[in-house]
Chain A
Amino acid sequence: MIPTLGHFALALAFAIAVAQAVIGLFGPKFRDATVMRAAPALAIGQFVSLVISFAALVWAGVVSDFTVRNVAQFSSSTTPLLYRITGTWGNHDGSMLLWCLILSLCSAVVAGFGRTIPTSLRARVLGVLGLVSAGFLLFTVTVSNPFQRIWPPPMQGAGVNPILQDPGLAVHPPILYAGYVGFSIAFAFAVAALIEGRVDAAWGRWVRPWTIVSWAFLTAGITFGSLWSYYTLGWGGFWFWDPVENVALLPWLTGTALIHSAIVVEKREALKTWSVLLAIATFSLSLSGTFLVRSGLLNSVHSFAVSPNQGLFILVLLGLTVGGSLLLFVIRAPTLGASGVFAPVSREGALIVNNIFLCMIAAVVFTGTMYPPFVDLLLGVQLSVGAPFYDQAALPLTAPLIVAMAIGPMLPWKRAALGPALVKLWYSGVIALVILAVFMFRGHVVAALGLAGALWVIFGALADLSERIQLFRIPITRSIRRFFSMPRASLGAACGHLGFGITVLGIAGMTLQIHTITVLRPGQGVTLGGYRWTLERIYNAPGPDYAARVALIDVTRHGKHVMTMRPERRFFLAQHVTTEHAAIRTNGLWNMFATFANEDTSGGAEFRFNVHPLAPEIWLGGLVMALGGGLSLSDRRFRIGVPARRSLRKPQHTVEA
């Protein structure tokens, strides 16, 4: 009964989305306020139906209703409750429903919090969102229905894929999806602005907070994903340049560019066409990336079966969304007000440097991801693009970005001089150069460059903050007061930059990692990184739906006990799958990483021991970046400083459409 209700709610949501699209897009033509006000109501209605639908699916998972095919295939009654819940979105059909739920949440959020936006613009934004929702809901209802029933139901379900039974992965997809799908709002604003034929400072100010929300979620999502692959895949890598990761990175790069270019739109009414294109591109990349990977056309370690029929439907949807918006862009964008001129050395100049290099990195990643299928298509040659390509092509492009990142915030708008900005950064430069020299001298060139760049950015961000609160130039109490009263957007920006620097620090530190692979018998040990790793014993430990073999490893330094590590091998009984569960200990500055790789019949066991310097900083940086996004959002200018469009209606910037 409840799954049927969920199915019905799903179909209802589709009907409401269609109404939302029609009323939103055509309503403003009638200039009737009542018609336009229907759009927000419908958006909230769509969200409510999808919440009901999603709750029904989760319910089916919780009570193990095996008449629902989705539950029978991807869950079982012996699965722990948490994974019975998260298992509902750990598969294709369920994740589509989650995807649609988040998209409708975006509509609802614009409907609920967008009261300051002019009614006609809000109706059009909701119309665009409704149209996108309608397309994907149609897909979910017709070819990817999570409520499909089977009869007779099996006695027991197949269970949740062991590798997905992890609390980190439980929260990862919703956060990542919130990031991907959140860009739909910026996209809808861009399309609505093209329909209205008008992009101005107020547009920049409306688009930016929505972009920051999804950017923060995407940053957190990528961070969780990377952390998850670090501790589950068992070989201590945190980024593999796999298509699945690349398609998450692409919208992150263009989204980051959009956040910065929207500032220029807001402050200087420049880069308008570019920002609109970025908004379209960011959402298009989120969409096509997710679905092309899922269609199985890109080869990935996260293997998805090739499903051509679903793939074609998705391709048509993508064609309509991406192609339609770009067509509108071709028609309308050339008539948008051309950007004014400005000096290369200025805040906006630095933001353009940021945009150019972020987009170049995005182009490199895009090329590397799309190259294999297209070479196969055009030349019939099979090849794969791996980490060396990305490392050599993308990493040098981050260097100018890192240099500009510390200087940019120091420059004033319109016209600036480089000299005073560099004076404010002198100690960051000195610290970076000292570190560069020290590590170069030791022969770690890559690490030296990475660490120096990271410290330059970190101290650059701190210098920016201390500049704003006039640290050491006025009494400290007044500085503290200034700190708490400074615009949250500036604090958020500094925090974002700081986080990026911390992540770079971690990545650079990881190039100094050391590891060993060894076979030990109980009592034997090995020395790595100044630690003695000794295997004490191996014992059995039962789990809820698996049996584990746990190795007890005693780590000592100079004969003194430091820690006990317990890497495990888990045998999942239902699926006949073994997973490695690494033991990771951190002190915040470096990680000790032990995996129990294998066990032979003669009592020997194979271990991999790693010491990863600065590894925790990779993910700490990601969280600091996301936090920076959150801080920016709490800026009161976004909430109550209502951007009044009337006052900005200058004739030279408006083009009658």
Chain B
Amino acid sequence: MGHPLLRRRLLLSLPLAAATAGGLGFYILLERARQGTYNPQTFSNPLVGHRVPDFRLVGIDGKHGFGSSQLIASKKPILLNFFASWCVPCAGEAPYLDVISKSGVDIWGIAYQDKAKALAFYLAKYGDPYTRLATDPTGRTAINFGVYGVPESFLIAPGGIVRWHIAGPLVPPIINEQLRPELQKIA
């Protein structure tokens, strides 16, 4: 058994080494998925833990909207909800938003790339859970927030720090398992 054979052995054990490393990696991912710290389907947002970006938006038909200064000045936690009247999952989450607002949480809405008429029709049809409402017709604020698509919601603590984020509709499992614990942490 000379050196060439040893070298051959080492070379031929590379696939096993690679497969072992890969297997181990997937084992760790599975463990983390089981503990709920890894989910490839979620989108993390770099804003979590940071202050909201600067913005200033108007409401529907020239009514008062809101901006980052109001968010920062608020004494209560705020659920900031990006939505649109043309978005089907937004209509799907509307009843749950209603439940959240009735439980005493302020929801501020930003209508993303929407038209006033369609928006009024939407709010009349699916209900208006929003304490304050602003419109983002150009979508620039949404870009600054790093929004992937609508609906997307940010939980903002007093002082304007983003504490939690969800890309996708707020449905009961997410509300109960993620949003409520985060709200309790702030309170």
Contact = CB atoms under 8 A, between A and B. Distances in A.
B20 A323 contact: yes
A52 to B, nearest CB: 34
Interface in B60-118: none
A292 B25 CA distance: 12
B30 A334 contact: no
A306 interface: yes
Given A315-B23, A330-B9, A372-B40, A377 B29 contact: yes
A273 interface: yes
Contacts of A297: 26, 29-30, 33, 40
Contacts of A326: 15-16, 19
A47 to B, nearest CB: 30
B12 A382 contact: no
A280 B9 CA distance: 17
A376 B39 CA distance: 10
A299 interface: yes
B127 interface: no
Interface string B22-34: 1101111111111
B187 interface: no
Contacts, number: 77
B60 to A, nearest CB: 19
Contacts of A315: 23, 26-27, 30
A308 interface: yes
A155 B164 CA distance: 41
**B interface, size bucket:** 20 to 34
Given A315-B27, A322-B19, A334 B41 contact: no
Interface-centre pick from B15, B23, B38 (highest chain A CB count, 10 A): B15
A640 B174 CA distance: 64
Given A315-B27, A330-B13, A376-B38, A370 B33 contact: no
A326 B41 CA distance: 32
A297 B38 CA distance: 9
B44 interface: yes
A329 B9 CA distance: 10
A329 B20 CA distance: 14
Contact of B9 (A322, A334, A372, A377): A334
A638 B37 CA distance: 53
Contact of B12 (A292, A306, A323, A330): A330
A334 B40 contact: no
A197 interface: no
A319 interface: yes
Contacts of A280: 15
B134 to A, nearest CB: 25
Nearest to A328: B16
A311 B12 contact: no
Interface string A322-345: 110011011001100000000000
A292 B13 CA distance: 23
B8 A334 contact: yes
A370 B5 CA distance: 32
Interface in B1-58: 5, 8-9, 12-13, 15-16, 19-20, 22-23, 25-34, 38-41, 43-44
Contact of A306 (B16, B39, B43): B39
A323 B5 contact: no
Contacts of A277: 12, 15
Interface in A275-300: 277, 280-281, 284, 292, 295-299
A308 B32 CA distance: 9
Contacts of B31: 308
Interface residues of A, number: 35
A646 B111 CA distance: 79
Nearest to B15: A326
A373 interface: yes
B23 A319 contact: yes
B25 A377 contact: yes
A374 interface: yes
Interface-centre pick from A306, A333, A376 (highest chain B CB count, 10 A): A306
A334 B12 contact: yes
Contact of B16 (A298, A299, A323): A323
Interface-centre pick from B9, B19, B26, B29 (highest chain A CB count, 10 A): B26
A308 B34 contact: yes
A312 B23 CA distance: 11
Interface in A340-372: 370, 372
A330 B16 CA distance: 8
A292 B26 contact: yes
A382 B26 contact: no
A323 B17 CA distance: 9
A377 B33 CA distance: 11
Contacts of B43: 382
B88 to A, nearest CB: 9
Contacts of B29: 297, 373, 376-377
A306 B15 contact: no
A116 interface: no
Interface in A354-412: 370, 372-374, 376-377, 382
B23 A323 contact: yes
Contact of B15 (A296, A308, A329): A329
Contacts of B27: 312, 315
Contacts of B25: 373-374, 377
Interface of B: 5, 8-9, 12-13, 15-16, 19-20, 22-23, 25-34, 38-41, 43-44
Given A323-B23, A373-B29, 12 more contacts: A296-B33, A296-B41, A306-B33, A308-B31, A315-B26, A323-B20, A329-B16, A333-B12, A334-B12, A372-B40, A373-B40, A377-B25
27 contacts: A296-B40, A296-B41, A297-B29, A297-B30, A299-B41, A308-B30, A311-B33, A315-B26, A315-B27, A318-B23, A322-B19, A322-B23, A323-B19, A323-B20, A323-B23, A327-B16, A330-B9, A330-B13, A334-B5, A334-B12, A373-B26, A373-B29, A373-B40, A376-B38, A377-B25, A377-B32, A382-B43
In the complex, the 5 A-B pairs of residues with the closest C-beta atoms, listed nearest first: A299-B40, A308-B34, A326-B16, A330-B13, A334-B8
Interface of A: 273, 277, 280-281, 284, 292, 295-299, 303, 306, 308-309, 311-312, 315, 318-319, 322-323, 326-327, 329-330, 333-334, 370, 372-374, 376-377, 382
